[in-house]
Structure 1
């Protein structure tokens, strides 16, 4: 893996170049381009347990602390966690609430808007209401504005029959977006004045078992709207990218993977209204540019 210091240096070099390019464009056009930069991380899965395979649960607080320090310097418009703040393996509510408090307190060090996406491991020991109350998350699915975009957070943590995940009553491969949420999504996109970004825990690209069973139904709504510039997800710790019918689907690497901060994973994402997307990855998260 690349060292975090090297990645940081590359990150700030890229940021300076990006700012220079934006400034040049502004001079030429006589206007300031409306690009949005936000911070993103996924799957810290904090827990006081021994490492299992490539997952180092106890190292996630140190990784998130480094991540938040980097975001504090970069000053993105907001930071979003794409789910699985805790591992939840103990299934004990009090134990996992202690783990959640540890990792959430670190997230709260970011002095700016912060957002959560519900992950399956977040619901191994909690109900959705319990997780929402502990984190200040407004609802299991919701939307917010981050100029110039409408940002839509989806919740695919439902089992067959659209039963909400709660306290481990599910298999992680049994994931669905319920009909009422699909109706809500369609309405949100219709009333969006401009382009939209979508955030989920489970990837919507349909590549494998990490995707919701009815991911194709969700994609159809996104495609029909003509407004979605990109979708960002976690869940599959390997990360990845796939473009489906014109929409790019990005999967962010899992923070819990690998020992120590040298194996961290997070990113700064810059999106332009024209559809240009630049991901500056840190640690294990690759960088990429899509125009």
Structure 2
């Protein structure tokens, strides 16, 4: 569901092959309607990098508040069962107090979207804060865990660990040294072995690439996912771009960052639709691409 060129007073959207014109106000958004009553819907956002500071390069930190408002209005129409934030909710600050202020400012509107929310830790979330400080700020008990909803089993992963197993906190790490430690891998293997449901995984750092944006031991992680035989897809952020890879039957879908670019036309967020038969459709808004998985 991507923007196409239109006169400046109107915005145009392509929806199911039909050109839809809408006013530029936040209340007039790309329309999306559900059809299958038993399907499960999940709202997804990633890499908001909110901070009360001037733009840096292509990152417009303050604008994510307004962009999140648009996503919230779209999610309100569909009423997802829960929403997931895939990491880097906030950007780095020069003090703990300032970082906590950023977190309160962005989490207040995010919390209003849905009572059921899940936060994936990103490296910027713990650049200045400790993990427990971030988690306390968003009201989440753990950094990695799993839960069931309908026919699906969902897994939240935490890759914010150094190669030596030390957790990220207060600038004690290099962002290129992201790892899932042995204890978390053991937990993941046991967790996946205990479910027969379709599995969807949420991560921040990427599990499908070997460059700076990838988890360094992602081959080990993928082996655990593949061994289960139930994992349908992994949704991740971190590299700020639309990307999709299929590795040994598992789809690795990277979502576009909300912080990139100025103005509503450079927003990006998604609605995940999960059918009882394991079919998954990602409807993307603004710069986020649509995806289908079977």
TM-score relative to the length of structure 2: 0.89
Partner SS, residue 76 of structure 1: coil
Does residue 258 (structure 1) correspond to residue 276 (structure 2)? The answer is no
2:165 equivalent in structure 1 = 162
Q: Is the CA contact (8 Å cut-off) linking 2:48 and 2:61 kept in structure 1?
A: yes
**Distance in 1 between the 2:123 and 2:109 partners?**
21
Runs (4+) of structure 1 exceeding 4 A deviation are 7-14
Partner SS, residue 270 of structure 1: strand
Within the candidate set 35, 43, 63, 1:39 is matched to 43
Cα offsets for 1:27-56 (capped at 9, x unmatched) = xxxxx7x53211100000001111111110
Cα offsets for 1:56-97 (capped at 9, x unmatched) = 001011111111111111111111000111011x23111111
Within the candidate set 193, 197, 200, 2:200 is matched to 197
**Distance in 2 between the 1:280 and 1:5 partners?**
18
Q: Is the CA contact (8 Å cut-off) linking 1:35 and 1:148 kept in structure 2?
A: no
Q: Is the CA contact (8 Å cut-off) linking 1:40 and 1:81 kept in structure 2?
A: yes
Deviation at 1:110, TM superposition (A): 1.2
Partner SS, residue 142 of structure 2: coil
Partner SS, residue 143 of structure 1: strand
**Distance in 1 between the 2:164 and 2:14 partners?**
45
Deviation at 1:208, TM superposition (A): 2.5
Q: Which runs of 5+ in 2 are unaligned?
A: 5-9, 17-28
1:180 equivalent in structure 2 = 183
Q: Which runs of 5+ in 1 are unaligned?
A: 23-31
**Distance in 1 between the 2:31 and 2:109 partners?**
26
Partner SS, residue 113 of structure 2: coil
Deviation at 1:9, TM superposition (A): 6.1
Deviation at 1:194, TM superposition (A): 1.2
Deviation at 1:290, TM superposition (A): 2.7
Q: Is the CA contact (8 Å cut-off) linking 1:7 and 1:282 kept in structure 2?
A: no
**Distance in 1 between the 2:184 and 2:122 partners?**
16
Q: Is the CA contact (8 Å cut-off) linking 1:91 and 1:124 kept in structure 2?
A: no
Q: Is the CA contact (8 Å cut-off) linking 2:210 and 2:216 kept in structure 1?
A: no
Deviation at 1:261, TM superposition (A): 2.0
The verdict on how the C-alpha distance between 1:76 and 1:172 changes in structure 2, with shifts beyond 3 A counting, is same
Q: Is the CA contact (8 Å cut-off) linking 2:47 and 2:88 kept in structure 1?
A: yes
**Distance in 2 between the 1:5 and 1:141 partners?**
40
Within the candidate set 79, 84, 92, 1:80 is matched to 84
The verdict on how the C-alpha distance between 1:5 and 1:135 changes in structure 2, with shifts beyond 3 A counting, is farther
Q: Is the CA contact (8 Å cut-off) linking 1:92 and 1:125 kept in structure 2?
A: yes
2:122 equivalent in structure 1 = 119
**Distance in 2 between the 1:6 and 1:181 partners?**
45
Deviation at 1:238, TM superposition (A): 1.2
Deviation at 1:274, TM superposition (A): 3.3
1:27 equivalent in structure 2 = none
More helix by share: 1
Does residue 240 (structure 1) correspond to residue 243 (structure 2)? The answer is yes
Within the candidate set 25, 44, 60, 1:56 is matched to 60
Deviation at 1:239, TM superposition (A): 2.4
Deviation at 1:212, TM superposition (A): 0.6
1:2 equivalent in structure 2 = 3
2:289 equivalent in structure 1 = 286
